Amino acid sequence: MSSNNWSCEVSGDVPIFEFEEGMDQSEFAGSAWDEYTTQIDRHDVSGLVTVVRMDDPFHADTFEVWNRSGQKAVKEGITKWGVVAEGLKSMSLKSQLDVPGLDVYTTEDRNDGIEWVRS
């Protein structure tokens, strides 16, 4: 599933979401959220990877969606989330995904994030 500003690829039992520059809040909380819940509701998902290239993923409403995403993951039994982002985005997103029961790993390398989730 994808749009112009986001995509979801499933690699085995790991959904990999990519959020591109130009993505706005309405997509993040709309069609991307719908696809996220579809993927998370599968019972064979072992972890998640999110690649964040968004211009500014730091709005309060966006952080609320990140937090809700983490809570939904834990509720469905997912314990590992790899976040791929550059520099400060990576650190900020990790702090927003501070959900009990969810181990978050941040990296700037997509393959590293995928490998960590699978380990």
Tell me the pLDDT of the chain (119 aa) as tens digits.
557 789 999 998 999 999 888 877 777 778 888 899 999 987 788 899 999 988 765 667 777 888 888 999 999 999 999 999 988 877 777 777 788 999 999 999 999 999 999 99
- Give pLDDT, residue 2: 59
Coil, helix or strand at residue 29: helix
Cα(50)–Cα(32) distance, integer angstroms: 12
CATH architecture designation of domain 6-118: 2-Layer Sandwich (3.30)
71-98: buried (b, 16+ CB within 10 Å) or exposed (e) per residue?
A: ebbeeeebebbbbbbeeebbebbeebbe
The reported pTM is 0.88
Residue linked to tokens 């520059």: 21
Residue linked to tokens 């314990």: 79
Please state whether beta strands 103-107 and 80-84 pair in parallel, antiparallel, or not at all (unpaired): parallel
- Give pLDDT, residue 63: 77
Q: Are 85 and 112 in contact (CB under 8 A)?
A: no
Cα(26)–Cα(51) distance, integer angstroms: 18
Coil, helix or strand at residue 114: helix
